[in-house]
Amino acid sequence: MTDELLFEVDGHVAVITINRPAKLNSMTPEMAYALEAAVAECNKSNTIRCVIVTGAGERAFCAGSDIRTLDDYATPWEFRNRGDYCDAIRLCLKPTIAAVNGYAFGGGLETAMSCDIRIASSNAQFAAPEIKLGWIGGGGMAVHLAHSVGPSNAALMIMTGDPISARQAKDWNLVSDVVPLPDLLDRAKTIASRAPIAAETAKINLKAAFSMPVEKAIEYERDLQTICFATADAAEGRAAFKEKRPPVFKRR
């Protein structure tokens, strides 16, 4: 691990903080490897129910890869096969929430889009600025933007590199909510109170919805529903409903 990437667990919530505020929380290869280790820890935990990714300070969520490190790769192939922080987030089995405070530029935007849910502070900005430097994003920029904001808006962001505000990101469905900065982490923790197996299954189901034909996706969803229905947590949910009390879920 590294001091430039913090990993904390508070109850059922894991918080991964990109901790390089003096450099707008830009990512180094060492930080990418630390993120992979943090995600592996979350995946094997029976207590963690959601994972929040955020940035240290108020200026930036993440400004993407530290450009100063990109010339350290000996060959283009070495660059192609580098450890990628967006890939690490997509491997997380638990629901992931990007708590976007400030700039989410380049790989920072891809980091946010690699999470299942994006909540933004009112001062957040989003951009795909790689084209201004001579390249394009490589961590899922085009596919995630196209699914989130539509083809024309995705083309506008990728081909101009210009930023959009948090409010515009909300209007374009890039983020789910915009809240004052002091409320950001509390807003992101909501999922931790939900049934954990159902939440993890919902994540699997949503991935399938984007890659399967409609009929197969519905069939798959019904199978996943049956698996959830057979859990002790589902029985607890039904009992709590009948007894008019909050459920106590145990991930069983």
**Residues belonging to the active site:** 110, 130
Tell me phi and psi for residue 162, to 5 degrees. -80, 145
CB-based contacts of 194, cutoff 8 Å, min separation 6: 49, 249
CB-based contacts of 52, cutoff 8 Å, min separation 6: 13, 14, 15, 16, 96, 97, 98, 99, 185, 188, 189
Using CA atoms, how far apart are residues 125 and 103, in angstroms rounded to an integer? Answer: 5
Tell me phi and psi for residue 95, to 5 degrees. -55, 135
Using CA atoms, how far apart are residues 115 and 199, in angstroms rounded to an integer? Answer: 14
Beta strand extents in the chain (DSSP E only): 5-10, 13-18, 50-55, 60-62, 96-100, 103-105, 117-121, 125-127, 164-165, 177-179
Q: What three-state secondary structure class fits 18?
A: strand
